[in-house]
Amino acid sequence: MECQRLLVMGDNHGDTESLETVVEETEGTEFDYIVHTGDITDAHRRGVGTAADQLRAIEPLFADLAERGELVYIYGNRDSERGGNKHVTDRYELSPGTQLPKGGAVEVAGQRFTADPDDVGNDDVLITHGQLPEPFYSFDGRAYFCGHTHRGWHRGRALNSAHLKKVRKGYLGAYFIVELNGDDLEVECRGIDEPWTAIECPDHGWYGTQFQPEKFGCRLCKFGPAEALREVAWTAYASHVDEPGEDVIDATDLVSGVLALLEGADDAEEQFRAYLDNLLEQPGPHDPLQPSDGNPTTLVPR
């Protein structure tokens, strides 16, 4: 498949200021596709009536973007009221672009897009709002784009689109220019009201490339790698270890599963083994193999 150029963004939560900046800064630029990863409005906090007004304000900006490339978008959790019974589209429907349905796939200008991780072919683009661990760490399709966590993050063929709306720390977010060529994603991050930088931490290279204002640095160095290692452990257990759900899992097998998931990222092995050693000494509620369904798996040393 030929090289494709994409504009990728998400999580503006009804904000138009950030979208206006994206429109202004990309004026005169053409893209094959423009992707929005959801949370277009803030029905969750403000109700579907206000969210419908937000859609009306956003619509001309989406129309401008759709003139620069094929617009494909999904909705996120904030596009529904609390409880999920009322959705913004109950009040108003956008006209520009192609909304990706929750199930099935659509073909847009020769490219197949899907929101279903179980329905992804080698040449397909997967778009979800919430970040799914398995496709983010190991993806066989053409590209995977997601949002929701507000963490700009690129690993392999996957990209979390961070956020556009201001967050609690008071700064607007960023958007991404992506070159999709063969197996590679070339990612450029553009901060809206301050520069964002690509952070490739020498101590956590297995984690991928992080994008955020430079002053914040590596998340894993600042907050510790336990949360990320926990996610990797459970994902590897569920997808790369034989017979998930068994009562006992060997720590060595889990390490092998992690390395398979991370496609041989050797720099993760020492950190992951130390993480497992700690779990073996002090199992508890943060053990990734202790799910909330009351059917835990016991981690044992070899």
pLDDT tens by residue, 210-266: 999 888 899 999 999 988 998 888 888 877 665 555 567 777 888 888 888 887 677
Number of CB atoms found within 10 A of residue 33's CB:
23
Give the pLDDT band (50/70/90) at residue 281: confident
Higher pLDDT among residues 284 and 216, named by residue: 216
Question: Rounded mean pLDDT of 129-144?
Answer: 91
| Angle at 186 (CA atoms; ends 266, 214), nearest 5 degrees | 75
Give the per-residue pLDDT at 252. 82
Cα pseudo-dihedral 206, 209, 212, 214, rounded to 10: 80
Give the pLDDT band (50/70/90) at residue 282: confident
85, pLDDT greater than 60: yes
The DSSP 8-state label assigned to residue 169 in this structure reads T
Token pair of 224 as six digits: 């510790």
Give the per-residue pLDDT at 290. 62
Give the per-residue pLDDT at 294. 55
- Please list, in sequence order, all residues whose beta carbon lies within 8 angstroms of the beta carbon of residue 75, skipping any fewer than 6 positions away: 38, 39, 40, 87, 88, 89, 99, 129
Give the per-residue pLDDT at 302. 45
Give the pLDDT band (50/70/90) at residue 293: low
Question: Computed from CA positions of residues 275, 149, 127, 19, in that sequence, does the dihedral angle turn out positive or negative?
Answer: negative
Give the pLDDT band (50/70/90) at residue 296: low
> Residue 39 and residue 87: Cα distance in Å, rounded?
12
Give the per-residue pLDDT at 16. 95
- Please list, in sequence order, all residues whose beta carbon lies within 8 angstroms of the beta carbon of residue 231, skipping any fewer than 6 positions away: 133, 288
Question: Rounded mean pLDDT of 143-153?
Answer: 95
pLDDT-above-70 percentage for the chain? 88
From the list 249, 240, 242, the residue with the least C-alpha distance to 291 is 249
287, pLDDT greater than 80: no
173, pLDDT greater than 80: yes
- The answer to whether the pTM exceeds 0.85 is yes
- Average pLDDT value for the chain: 88
